[in-house]
Chains A and B, each alone.
Chain A
Amino acid sequence: MRQFRTILSFELKNYFKNKVFVGSTLFIVAVLAVVMFLPNLIDVFGSMGGDSSDEPTEQSVILVSAPSQEMGETIAQALASAFPDQTVTWTQDDLAKIKEQVSNQEADCALVFDSLTSYTYYVYNRSLYDQTTQVANQVLVSLAQVEAMTQQGLSPDQAGEILSLQIDAKEELLGVDQAQNYWYTYIMTLALYMVIMLYGQMVASHVATEKSSRAMELLITSATPVNMMFGKVLASCIAGFVQLAVIFGSALLFYQLNLDAWGGNSVMTSLFDMPLSLLVYLLVFFVLGFLLYAFLYGAIGSTATKLEDINTSIMPLSMLFVIAFCVVMFSMGSGAVDNIAMMVCSFVPFTSPIAMFARIAMSTVPVYQIVLSIGILAVSVVGIGVLSAKIYRVGVLLYGTPPKIGAILKAVWQA
């Protein structure tokens, strides 16, 4: 036990004295600080530059052309209220002139009407988010409906009342609101993925470095493989956890400091409004998922002779995790987090840390499924931990080209 503690504290010191580790953490915290203080900063700079709202701004123009003046003015009036940011102008110019004005970008666009229900839309560059026609269509449908109703003998006020009928809908949430949970689930899943990937690879390269510098010859005769493996992996787990805690802790602190400025932002409020139970699940899946992958990365690292071999050796494992991540991300994007792929992924130990977490966050998962998933994962962690220590013991003494998985397992079996 003392040996394990010695290794753990030595490896932890390595992380916390590592300039890259400390530097990158501080950098992320600094970036977060800038982002979180942004609304206040903008206010400060805005007031320094003087208030600009009094200055007249050049508004873009929408041209409307119609067969009759009465029709043109009615349409222009209706559209003007639908496009408050733009100036809607009725024009008597002919089509060639109108096109020229749009081409010269004197006007933003033009709507040339044949009748109340038929028009041509002229625009120079159509933007990705151009919704002019949709908005215009709604306005025109209402116009046509009002006209049809008045022809049937209703007054325009009566017609307007019918069209602006309001539905009173109440909503009561019994499960989870995906729209609200989406952002923090997204960020937490991404954080889980990145931390496991980055630290796993770090464990692999630490082991391979010890091997290539031949410090291993001495380590393996000084400490038991189980102590070495568990010490290293737990140290990286603690380092990863501390880094995450510092980053999210400082983000929360900055958010609290800027609460007034961010108050109305729905993404921010949903992000920092995560329920405590979910945070506990996050912690459980973080620790278990991290350990599972770090053990495997460590075992793979021990089979590489040179640091350069690492990248190819860890590829299959990394691919597995990337696939899991993609499945989760697609499912989250589609809103169907309980689809078959996710169901399977949330019980397979290699994918369950992120898949089950995403399901818990974005859906209502029966308790027995959660318990089962965590149980399978925990048992796998212990099993893989012991197996990886055995691989480590065999792997560190093998030099030359990285051996095949079958050969290693055979050697582990025989040892």
Chain B
Amino acid sequence: MKLELRNIEKSFGAKQVLQGISLTAEGGQAFGLLGRNGAGKTTTIRILMDVFPQNSGEVLLDGKPIDYRKVSLGYLPEERGLYPKKPIGQQLVYFAQLKGMKRAKALASVRHWLERLGMEEYETKRLDTLSKGNQQKIQLITALAHDPDIIVLDEPFSGLDPVNAALLKDVVKEQIQKGKIVLFSSHQMNYIEEFCQEIAILNQGKIAISGNLEQIKRSYPRDRLTVFSPQYREILSQLGNRCQLVQPGEVLLRLDSPRQKQEMMGQLVARYDIDRVQVYEPSLNDIFVEYAGDHV
């Protein structure tokens, strides 16, 4: 399965919110959709979910315009919310039925997921009697119970304790392994780095950068070295203005060109007590700041 957004444009009144968004997400992979608040992530997701139509551009599944009657989507919205005064089992079954499931199947699936997330005791409880983290897990079930082909998770990890976060990670990995298209939107870069091979960073309604995360990282000029050494003070004083202290024991060393890499590594190892030296690769956080920051 391959989901493609091609040249999506959308404006609300005079304000153009999306200016030619294109991205491709494959089944069996997680796709990270990044961007600052107001960059157009939610609008992109809503167009994908068919909440409103785009002004121009196409949403394609396996090369053909997506048919919402045939493909099912699961969505965990960033703004969480269900019926606070209703029994949990009842509303989960309702949402699964809205997505086209028969009642008996919906009930079985809801029970399965409640059990999977350790929530089976809450089936008849009202939603507002649960803690925030548990409500979050219930909300996750609405995105997964109807066994969707495409899963959109907007900030899935916010508000979860480490144990629940680990549980959610397992669930997401399971879904990816089943070959589903998982779309992630989050500001927690470590989770994106952990799950997503492909990313797109949105900035003011445009794709600032997109593609394979590994390749993006490697596309940066490999002209910097990260040096870990107990003698970092000596390195700093002797190599002078090429060096920059990252933190005690870690120094960033700029080269004139990537070709100097081998030679410089040899020199460092010969002259100082070196624990580790490696070519500097930007973290997703650095890439994000670079492509979505104010200066762009």
Asked if residues B80 and A221 are in contact (CB atoms below 8 Å), the reply is no
Asked if residues A223 and B81 are in contact (CB atoms below 8 Å), the reply is no
Q: Does B142 contact A (CB under 8 A)?
A: yes
Q: Name the one of B52, B73, B81, B95 contacting A393, with C-beta atoms under 8 angstroms.
A: B52
Q: Which of B58-95 contact A (CB under 8 A)?
A: 73, 75, 77, 79-84, 94-95
Q: Does B53 contact A (CB under 8 A)?
A: yes
Asked if residues B81 and A214 are in contact (CB atoms below 8 Å), the reply is yes
Q: Which residue of B lies closest to A217 (CB)?
A: B77
Chain B residues near A217 (CB-CB < 8 A): 77, 79, 81
What separation, in Å, do the CA atoms of A216 and B77 have in the docked complex? 10
Chain A residues near B80 (CB-CB < 8 A): 214
Q: Report B112-151 CB contacts with A as 1/0, cut-off 8 Å.
A: 0000000000000000000000000000001000000000
Asked if residues B51 and A215 are in contact (CB atoms below 8 Å), the reply is no
What separation, in Å, do the CA atoms of A2 and B53 have in the docked complex? 23
Chain A interface category by residue count = 20 to 34
What separation, in Å, do the CA atoms of A7 and B95 have in the docked complex? 10
Chain B residues near A213 (CB-CB < 8 A): 81-84
Asked if residues A218 and B95 are in contact (CB atoms below 8 Å), the reply is yes
Q: Does A16 contact B (CB under 8 A)?
A: no
What separation, in Å, do the CA atoms of A393 and B53 have in the docked complex? 11
Asked if residues B98 and A215 are in contact (CB atoms below 8 Å), the reply is no
Q: Does B97 contact A (CB under 8 A)?
A: yes
Q: In the complex where A3-B100, A223-B98 touch, is A218 in contact with B51 (Cβ < 8 A)?
A: no
Asked if residues A222 and B99 are in contact (CB atoms below 8 Å), the reply is yes
Q: Which residue of A lies closest to B142 (CB)?
A: A218
Chain B residues near A280 (CB-CB < 8 A): none
Q: Does B172 contact A (CB under 8 A)?
A: no
Q: In the complex where A222-B98, A393-B52 touch, is A216 in contact with B75 (Cβ < 8 A)?
A: no
Chain B residues near A215 (CB-CB < 8 A): 81-83
Q: Does A220 contact B (CB under 8 A)?
A: yes
Q: In the complex where A3-B98, A214-B81 touch, is A221 in contact with B52 (Cβ < 8 A)?
A: no
A-B contact count (CB 8 A): 54
Q: Does A10 contact B (CB under 8 A)?
A: yes
Asked if residues A397 and B51 are in contact (CB atoms below 8 Å), the reply is yes
Q: Does B49 contact A (CB under 8 A)?
A: yes
Q: Does A125 contact B (CB under 8 A)?
A: no
Asked if residues B79 and A222 are in contact (CB atoms below 8 Å), the reply is no
Q: Does A415 contact B (CB under 8 A)?
A: yes
Asked if residues A220 and B53 are in contact (CB atoms below 8 Å), the reply is no
Q: Report A213-238 CB contacts with B as 1/0, cut-off 8 Å.
A: 11111111111000000000000000
Asked if residues B98 and A216 are in contact (CB atoms below 8 Å), the reply is no
Q: Name the one of B46, B75, B84 contacting A218, with C-beta atoms under 8 angstroms.
A: B75
Asked if residues B83 and A221 are in contact (CB atoms below 8 Å), the reply is no
Asked if residues A221 and B79 are in contact (CB atoms below 8 Å), the reply is no
Q: In the complex where A221-B49, A397-B51 touch, is A214 in contact with B98 (Cβ < 8 A)?
A: no
Most buried by A among B13, B50, B97: B97
What separation, in Å, do the CA atoms of A78 and B53 have in the docked complex? 90
Chain A residues near B49 (CB-CB < 8 A): 221
Chain B residues near A10 (CB-CB < 8 A): 94
What separation, in Å, do the CA atoms of A129 and B99 have in the docked complex? 68
Q: Name the one of A220, A410, A411, A414 contacting B51, with C-beta atoms under 8 angstroms.
A: A220
The minimal Cβ–Cβ distance linking B142 to chain A, given in whole angstroms, is: 6
Binding site for A on B (CB under 8 A): 12-13, 46, 49-53, 73, 75, 77, 79-84, 94-95, 97-100, 142
List 7 contacting pairs A-B, 8 Å CB cutoff, sorted by A.
A210-B83, A213-B83, A216-B81, A393-B51, A393-B52, A397-B46, A410-B13
With A217-B81, A393-B52 given, can you name 6 additional A-B contacts, CB distance below 8 Å?
A213-B82, A213-B83, A214-B81, A221-B51, A397-B52, A411-B12
